[in-house]
């Protein structure tokens, strides 16, 4: 589902426009999962408009031994955290025995540290049997989003939707198989960078993430 326009003033405005495109999910009582940090202001507006709970979707890459920039998989946060491996790269790299398990443990510890920072003691939301909408501020290559969607899918949601304000069409095509529906507002061609389509693309701070999550929690309990 695509909606034409040129750019966004900031992430909050992009979130309001995205919320309008997602209005048909309101009656499904969806769970909104934001990819931090930039996805949180966007997802906050979606959650607010859909009267839906907001949580984080923390993803940590597992890099190849000695070449951490080469991802052999990822750990995806959730009630039951998921390990997602790129077996083609795993077979090519052939990491030593125990390496993946050790890296999984290390990245889970980092996910837990970040969750404590952002959400204190609150556990990850349960996705089983729910309509889940994963939100980010945009997609470039789609690698992180693909791992995130695959991880959420393993946690058995009833329906899984990816929603982003802007992305190149080829990246959307790449991740489409990992979810039930993709909602994107802008698919520029040529695509430059996510930030090129925002007038204000200042880095989202930890403080803003914490504040928006608290505000969303208060709204969901009111």
Encode pLDDT of 155-177 as tens digits. 999 999 999 999 999 999 989 99
Q: What value, to the nearest 5°, has the Cα angle with vertex 69 and ends 164 and 66?
A: 160
What does the DSSP assignment read for 131-151? EEEEE-S--SS-HHHHHHHHH
Q: Is 163 exposed, middle or buried (0-12, 13-18, 19+ CB in 10 A)?
A: buried
pLDDT at residue 206 tops 80: yes
The reported pLDDT for the residue numbered 2 is 38
* Residue 1: pLDDT band with limits 50, 70, 90: very low
Round the average pLDDT of the chain to a whole number and report it.
92
pTM above 0.85, yes or no: yes
Interatomic CA distance for residues 91 and 102, integer angstroms: 18
The pLDDT of residue 78 = 84
Name, in order, each residue with C-beta under 8 angstroms of 121's C-beta and a sequence gap of 6 or more. none
Average pLDDT in the 163-192 region? 95
Mean pLDDT across 24-53: 96
Whole-number pLDDT of residue 221? 66
**For the chain, how many helices (H) and strands (E)?**
7, 8
Q: Has residue 207 got a pLDDT over 70?
A: yes
Question: If we measure between CA atoms, which residue out of 195, 171, 203, 196 comes closest to residue 184?
Answer: 171
Question: In what helix (H) or strand (E) does residue 166 lie, and over which residues does it extend?
Answer: strand 159-166
The token pair that represents 157 in the structure block: 């949601």
* Mean per-residue pLDDT, 30-45: 97
Reported as a single tens digit per residue, the pLDDT across 65-104 is 998 888 898 999 888 888 989 899 999 999 999 999 999 9
């Amino acid at each position: 589902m695509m909606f034409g326009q040129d750019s966004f003033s900031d992430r909050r405005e992009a979130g309001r426009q995205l919320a309008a495109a997602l209005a048909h999910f309101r009656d499904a009582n969806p769970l909104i999962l934001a990819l931090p940090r930039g996805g949180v202001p966007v997802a906050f507006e979606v959650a607010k408009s859909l009267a839906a709970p907001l949580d984080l979707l923390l993803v940590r890459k597992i890099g190849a031994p000695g070449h951490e920039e080469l991802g052999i998989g990822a750990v995806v946060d959730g009630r039951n955290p998921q390990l997602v491996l790129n077996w083609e790269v795993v077979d090519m790299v052939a990491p030593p025995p125990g390496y993946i398990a050790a890296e999984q443990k290390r990245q889970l510890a980092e996910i837990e540290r970040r969750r404590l920072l952002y959400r204190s003691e609150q556990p990850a939301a349960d996705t089983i049997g729910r309509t889940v909408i994963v939100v980010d501020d945009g997609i470039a290559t789609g690698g992180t989003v693909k791992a995130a969607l695959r991880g959420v899918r393993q946690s058995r949601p009833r329906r899984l939707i990816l929603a982003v304000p802007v992305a190149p069409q080829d990246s959307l095509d790449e991740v489409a198989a990992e979810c039930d529906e993709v909602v994107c507002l802008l698919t520029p061609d040529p695509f430059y960078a996510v930030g090129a389509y925002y007038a204000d693309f200042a880095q989202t701070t930890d403080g803003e993430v914490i504040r928006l999550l608290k505000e969303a929690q208060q709204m969901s309990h009111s």
